[in-house]
Amino acid sequence: MSINKIAVLTSGGDAPGMNACIRAICLACEHEGIKTLGYNHGFNGLLTQESRNLHASDVHNLIQRGGTILYSARCEKFKSLEGVQLAADNLDKQEVDALIIIGGNGSFLGGEHLQKVWKKPVIGVPGTIDNDIAGTDFTIGFHTAIQTAVESIDKVRDTAEAFERIFLVEVMGREAGNLALDSAISSGSDHVLVPELFSSAAEELVGILDKLAIRKRNKTNPSHIIIVTENLWPGGIHVLADSLTAETGFDVRVLTLGHVQRGGSPVSKDRLLATRLGTFAVESILNGAKGMMVGESHTKPVLVGLEESRSLKKGLNSYSVDILEKITRLG
């Protein structure tokens, strides 16, 4: 099959490094003499034919910019067979020979649906700060989100030390605790609550209180920083704050980082990953891949089925869990 035009879109939550990936795709296509078409607003753009040609001049000075120049959005209509068929027809009208989707699990599900209807290649590139996609060691945006979280936690630590306070820092991650776990290790935080290891509110509260008691007995660290994955604590993180205040008498404060973790200029690791995966996506299309996600495993490029990458549970790094337990028990 001859490849003359490759389309690209970004879908779902934005992640630092998406622009770097768009840049790599465009430049790799130009190197191969292939035209690049960018669809705006995710799958919505496929349905409304909101697209534009991309050239090297369009992606100049783009590698360091956060967000996505193609914008992103969620698309309910794309969940229907009619929506998917319309997208396939529109791609054919634009004479597109392959589509690259930069996004997370929901975006890859859309790619799966499209690949069943559209016979030309659909390739996914993992772009999400949650790092919850199986088959790749890291996803685009994850390292920048950690850096953003760590910088905020470092500043909170100063206030926590000055007033001997407990701080609860809520980070994003949905049903995955990778961001919380690595942020806790990188910032030297004292405790972390993640969905993969969460037992019950009662048991987790006892665990926190036990650790606080040990520190009080050993007269170490008057402050205490606890990292919590969003939407994890029953009733919300403020319920946990109230419980800790009632049990300890300490002044407990809550910091919710929220969407600030998705923004900002991508760090070098995300720029490198985005560039490698964007280039590899184009190479994979030329080599006949379809219905696949491009990723990296042990620094090597890999291809994983879209369904496999989305449906398999990635889980936490077990060694990181072990490390956190050892270094936060008494410190």
Asked whether residue 265 carries a pLDDT value surpassing 70, the answer given is yes
* Tokens, residue 106: 């929901």
Is 203 in contact with 209 (CB distance < 8 Å)?
A: no
Query: Model confidence at 221, in pLDDT bands (50, 70, 90)?
Result: low
pLDDT > 70 in the chain, percent: 97
pTM for this predicted structure: 0.94
* Tokens, residue 248: 């300890």
14, 97, 130, 182: the catalytic one is 130
Separation of alpha carbons 150 and 24, rounded Å = 28
Q: How many residues does the chain have?
A: 331
Highest mean pLDDT among 54-63, 72-81, 149-158: 54-63
315-326, pLDDT tens digit by residue? 898 888 888 877
Q: Say which residue the tokens 């975006």 belong to.
A: 107
> 271: phi > 0 → left, psi -120 to 50 → alpha, else beta; which?
alpha
Tell me what pLDDT residue 62 has. 96
Tell me what pLDDT residue 222 has. 65
Asked whether residue 36 carries a pLDDT value surpassing 80, the answer given is yes
Is 284 in contact with 294 (CB distance < 8 Å)?
A: yes
Same domain membership, residue 117 and residue 56: yes
Tell me what pLDDT residue 51 has. 96
Which residue pairs, CB below 8 angstroms and at least 24 apart, start in 281-284?
281/25, 281/100, 281/123, 281/125, 282/6, 282/25, 282/28, 282/29, 282/32, 282/34, 282/100, 283/28, 284/123
Asked whether residue 44 carries a pLDDT value surpassing 60, the answer given is yes
Strands, sheet with 166-171, edge to edge from the N-terminal-most edge strand: 191-193, 224-229, 166-171, 252-256
Asked whether residue 263 carries a pLDDT value surpassing 50, the answer given is yes
In this prediction, residues 237-250 reach a mean pLDDT of: 93
Let me know if residue 323 belongs to a domain. Answer: no
Same domain membership, residue 274 and residue 130: yes
Based on C-alpha coordinates, what's the Rg of the chain? 22
In this prediction, residues 260-281 reach a mean pLDDT of: 96
> In this predicted structure, which of 23-32, 39-48, 231-240, 252-261 has the lowest mean pLDDT?
252-261
As to burial, measured by CB atoms within 10 angstroms (0-12 exposed, 13-18 middle, 19+ buried), residue 264 is middle
CATH of the domain at 110: 3.40.50.450
Domain's final residue, options 262, 281, 302: 262
Same domain membership, residue 240 and residue 256: yes
Let me know if residue 317 belongs to a domain. Answer: no
Is 250 in contact with 216 (CB distance < 8 Å)?
A: no
As to burial, measured by CB atoms within 10 angstroms (0-12 exposed, 13-18 middle, 19+ buried), residue 246 is exposed
Same domain membership, residue 285 and residue 224: no
Is 36 in contact with 127 (CB distance < 8 Å)?
A: no
For residue 12, what is the DSSP state? S
Longest CA–CA span in the chain (Å) reads 72
Same domain membership, residue 160 and residue 221: yes
Phi and psi angles of residue 208, each rounded to the nearest 5 degrees, phi first: -65, -45
**Residue-number span of the structural domain to which 73 is assigned:** 5-141+266-311
Tell me what pLDDT residue 330 has. 44
Same domain membership, residue 254 and residue 119: no
161-204, pLDDT tens digit by residue? 766 788 999 999 878 999 999 999 999 998 999 999 999 999 99
298-321, pLDDT tens digit by residue? 999 999 999 999 888 888 988 888
- The tally of domains found in the chain comes to 2
First to last CA, the chain: 60
Please give the mean pLDDT across all residues of the chain: 92
Task: Print burial letters for 97-126: b (CB count within 10 Å at least 16), e (below 16).
Answer: bbbbbbbbbbbbbbbbbbbeebebbbbbbb
Asked whether residue 290 carries a pLDDT value surpassing 70, the answer given is yes
Q: Is-catalytic flag, 130?
A: yes
CATH of the domain at 233: 3.40.50.460
Tell me what pLDDT residue 301 has. 97
> 249: phi > 0 → left, psi -120 to 50 → alpha, else beta; which?
left
Query: Model confidence at 329, in pLDDT bands (50, 70, 90)?
Result: low
* Tokens, residue 243: 């419980």
Tell me what pLDDT residue 304 has. 97
Tell me what pLDDT residue 307 has. 92
* Tokens, residue 35: 């035209």
In this prediction, residues 245-255 reach a mean pLDDT of: 91
